[in-house]
Structure formats: C-alpha cells, structure tokens
C-alpha cells in the first residue's frame, strides 16, 4: 500500500481480525486479443513475502508502492490471500491480484500501477477496456487502516513509462482518465466490473491503473463510525484483477452488452477543433466536458446522433468529453486550436 513518503507508513503489526465473507474463487477468464501482459498478475519469479510488487512480471509502480497479493503466502501474512494486512478477499480469478491505495484524506497520495502494452494503440481505433475491482476493508492489523471507499478508479494510457522509485516526488493529480468508474466503489464482498471504450488519439504504448483525480474531485464514503473505532485512518485501498484492453468488440468483458456496440460507440470530431465539435452516437445520453483541471465547462443530453457543440468562445487547449449511457462511461480527449 502507501510507501514510506512523508509521514505515512505501512504499519506491520498483526492481530487476528474478524473477516468478511469471502467470494468464491472464479475460473480464469481469457479475452480475445488482450493487449495487457500478465492481466491476472499470476506470472512472477517467486512467491515473495512482503508489501510491494516483489517479483511480479511486466507491471511496475508509476506512483508509490502497489502490492502484489498472493494465495501462496501463509494465511494472514502482509500480502497473503485471502487474509492480509488490509482485507479478507479471494482473488477474482487465479491465485493473485494487486492492491493499490486510491485515496488519502491528508494529502494527494495515490498508488498507480503501470505496464507496457503488447502493441501500440492505433490512433482513431476504438478500444474496449475492463478490469475487476474490489473495495478493501478489514484485514488483520492492530488498527485497521482502510475506512473509506472512493470513486474514479480507472485506466490511463500514455506514450511513456513512469517508473516511480523510493523518495521520488509524488506525481500530481492528472484529473483525467480514459476509463473511469464514476461511482464510489464500495463493494467489499463482490468484484465490480469497470469497463468502457475510447478512441485512441495517440499511439499509446503504456497503461496505468489507479485514481488519477485530486481529492477535491474524488468522492468517498466511510465504512464505519469513527466514534466506534480505536484509531481512524481516512484511507481507501482497492484490489484489481482481470485487466483487459482489446481492439475487438467482445474482446474484453463489458457491462450491459457494450461489446456489441461496435462502430455505434460515441465519438467526437474534428480533433483538433476550432469552432464546432460534433458529438456522434450520444443521443439521449449524459454528456459533459471537463477542462484539464477537472472543471466542468459544459453538460447536456444530446438530442441527435450528430449533435454540434459550438466551442469558438472556449479557451484554446485540451479538454475531455465524457459520455455516460447504459454501457457506462466513454471518454475522449480533444484539443481546441486557433
């Protein structure tokens, strides 16, 4: 979880703690043309005791120290499954998953985990993305540290790697994600499906998972009454498993038949735009535009499948269009130029 940076540390005390009911271990799922290596976090050089990523293949830290949680560890060890320091949970599939810190009340600490894609994304191509997420709560610490659930866990694609090492400065909040779960992810028993699609605007070669939004833009809820616990930590920790990115409709597990939409997924053009932005295939869906600081600058429900948005008076620069329908959220980054 959160590494030694500033005043926050991962405590190492252990005391038996009443566990929540575990979900059943589900069979491994395969996805067509999945561009994510080691998508279930199963490939590793060894069964490594301790927090951090250990000998996990392909994945590395882009911020602080995500944790590789493994069923091969003895019950109740720091990074064991189902019981570990922070939660009691079976992996969604296989024998491993990862845990990442997704919110700290006192500052902007976030844990991001990153991997190179098996091949670069093609600009203009629609990609379908999904992963499973679970809100951690419980565990066997003397003072349980995870009392919050938060929103905005998602995926961010880049053209560069971002290896974080001990004592590096913390990366600032980006207030943007290509795929994001907008609701507070508070299910401590089941594994929530986070899914969506987007049109690549660059030849992205890396993908990160985490909460990329600032505290001001992150919503949380508390699992317990702070008056009824000995010590209170306003932290949120999320488990991740079964990661998928595919150019093929149906290539990743999608919610509400998303994989069957194909070319009918929402889109926007031209990009860059100057005076008018056309929002396509978003009729009757919630749509909004955020600037790069995460501030909402426009929202509406388009009344046609080719709605025109006049942007001539907007400040020049980058924006994010987000469309929410029965399939979940779809996001697009676009740029306004002179």
Residues 146 and 185 in one domain: yes
* pLDDT at residue number 85: 85
93-137 confidence digits (pLDDT tens): 999 999 999 998 778 889 999 999 999 999 989 999 999 999 988
Burial of 117 (0-12, 13-18, 19+ CB in 10 A): middle
* pLDDT at residue number 220: 83
27-44 confidence digits (pLDDT tens): 455 567 899 999 999 999
47-84 confidence digits (pLDDT tens): 988 889 999 999 999 999 999 999 999 888 889 999 88
Q: Are 297 and 319 a contacting pair, CB within 8 Å?
A: yes
**Which band of pLDDT confidence, cut at 50, 70 and 90, is reported for residue 232?**
low
In a domain? residue 75: yes
Q: Are 329 and 338 a contacting pair, CB within 8 Å?
A: no
Is the pLDDT assigned to residue 222 strictly greater than 90?
no
Instruction: Single out the residue in 216, 246, 276 at which a domain terminates.
Output: 246
Residues 325 and 221 in one domain: no
Q: Are 117 and 35 a contacting pair, CB within 8 Å?
A: yes
Instruction: Single out the residue in 246, 280, 300 at which a domain terminates.
Output: 246
Instruction: Single out the residue in 193, 217, 246 at which a domain terminates.
Output: 246
Compute CA distances 35 → 41, 48, 208, whole Å. 14, 26, 13
In a domain? residue 21: no
Structural domain harbouring 70: 60-246
In a domain? residue 312: yes
Residues 211 and 298 in one domain: no
* pLDDT at residue number 323: 82
Total domain count, the chain: 2
* pLDDT at residue number 235: 84
Residues 113 and 169 in one domain: yes
CATH of the domain at 277: 2.60.40.3080
Residues 164 and 85 in one domain: yes
**Which band of pLDDT confidence, cut at 50, 70 and 90, is reported for residue 327?**
low
* pLDDT at residue number 95: 95
Q: What is the DSSP string of 198-230?
A: EE-SS---EEEEEE-S-GGG--EEESS-GGGSS
* pLDDT at residue number 132: 96
Residues 79 and 112 in one domain: yes
* pLDDT at residue number 335: 79
In a domain? residue 33: no
In a domain? residue 53: no
Highest mean pLDDT among 23-37, 205-219, 261-275: 205-219
3-state secondary structure of 257: helix
* pLDDT at residue number 45: 93
* pLDDT at residue number 145: 55
Q: Smallest Cα–Cα separation from 315: which of 288, 332, 336?
A: 336
In a domain? residue 284: yes
């Amino acid at each position: 979880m959160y590494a030694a940076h500033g005043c926050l540390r991962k405590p190492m005390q252990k005391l038996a703690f009443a566990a929540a009911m575990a979900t059943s271990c589900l069979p491994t799922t395969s996805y067509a043309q999945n561009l994510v290596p080691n998508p279930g976090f199963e490939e590793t050089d060894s069964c490594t005791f301790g927090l951090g990523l250990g000998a996990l293949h392909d994945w590395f830290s882009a911020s602080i120290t995500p944790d590789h949680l493994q069923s091969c560890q003895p019950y109740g060890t720091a990074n064991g499954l189902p019981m570990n320091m922070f939660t009691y949970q079976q992996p969604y599939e296989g024998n491993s998953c990862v845990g990442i810190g997704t919110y700290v009340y006192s500052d902007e600490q976030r844990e991001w985990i990153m991997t190179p894609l098996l091949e670069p994304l093609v600009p203009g191509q629609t990609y379908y993305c999904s992963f499973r997420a679970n809100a951690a709560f419980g565990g066997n610490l003397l003072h349980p540290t995870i009392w919050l659930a938060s929103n905005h866990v998602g995926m961010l694609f880049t053209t560069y790697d971002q290896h974080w090492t001990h004592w590096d400065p913390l990366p600032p909040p980006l207030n943007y994600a290509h795929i994001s779960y907008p609701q507070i992810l508070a299910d401590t028993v089941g594994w929530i499906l986070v899914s969506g699609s987007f049109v690549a605007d660059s030849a992205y070669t890396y993908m990160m998972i985490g909460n990329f939004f600032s505290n001001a833009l992150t919503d949380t809820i508390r699992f317990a009454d702070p008056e009824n616990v000995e010590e209170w930590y306003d932290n949120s920790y999320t488990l991740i498993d079964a990661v998928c990115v595919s150019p093929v409709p149906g290539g990743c597990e999608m919610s509400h038949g998303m994989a069957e939409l194909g070319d009918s997924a929402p889109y926007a053009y031209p990009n860059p735009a100057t005076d008018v932005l056309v929002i396509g295939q978003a009729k009757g869906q919630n749509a909004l535009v955020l600037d790069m600081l995460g501030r909402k600058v426009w929202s509406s429900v388009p009344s046609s499948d080719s709605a025109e948005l006049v942007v001539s008076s907007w400040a020049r620069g980058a924006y994010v269009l987000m469309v929410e329908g029965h399939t979940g959220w779809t996001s697009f980054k676009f740029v306004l130029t002179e």
